[in-house]
Amino acid sequence: MEHIAVEIGRALRRLRRAHGLTLVDVAAMSNGMFKATSVAGYERGERSITLERFCSLCQLYGLAPDRVLAEILRRTEGRIEPEIDLAALESLGTTESALLSGFARQVRGLRGEPQADTITLRAGDLEVLATAEGRRPEELAEALHSVIRPHD
């Protein structure tokens, strides 16, 4: 159970940072519902978070709690998908990079994720892209190795 608490914390920290928020900002935005020290404890995995508070915090960040939870579960199961650097991808200037960049932006919009320099592509996303290009997912991943960032 400790491992999932750490992954919950990492996910919450990624969301907060993706929005450019500090812990103090979160406390202010929540009108005191969340204290900065509590959010910090959740993010470090040192403090348990109730489902109700988890949902409220996800909604404060503008994301559906079920999507955040799905990411957490993928990570606890060891299914870490590649994080693509979109600026590096676009700078490649190939047909392949243009296709992937457009797809990534559509996926981010469908997921309701904030604008960012990176996007995490899930296994299903890579399969769809690879099929569109007549490749296997492993081949596409290899072709994109220069724009894949390590996860935190």
Q: What are the residue ranges spanned by the domains of the chain? A: 2-76, 83-149
Query: What is the band of 58 on the pLDDT scale with cuts at 50, 70, 90?
Result: very high
What does each C-alpha distance from 95 to 82, 87, 90, 98 come to in angstroms?
A: 20, 15, 10, 5
Query: What is the band of 80 on the pLDDT scale with cuts at 50, 70, 90?
Result: low
**Number of neighbouring beta carbons within 10 Å of residue 66:** 10
pLDDT of residue 146: 79
Among residues of the chain, what percentage have pLDDT more than 90?
Answer: 36
* Residue 107 CB partners (closer than 8 Å, separation 6+): 119, 121, 125
Tens of pLDDT, residue by residue over 9-43, are: 999 999 999 889 999 999 999 999 999 999 999 99
The CATH architecture that domain 2-76 belongs to is Orthogonal Bundle (1.10)
Residues facing residue 85 across a β-bridge = 118
Structure token pair of residue 1: 């159970």
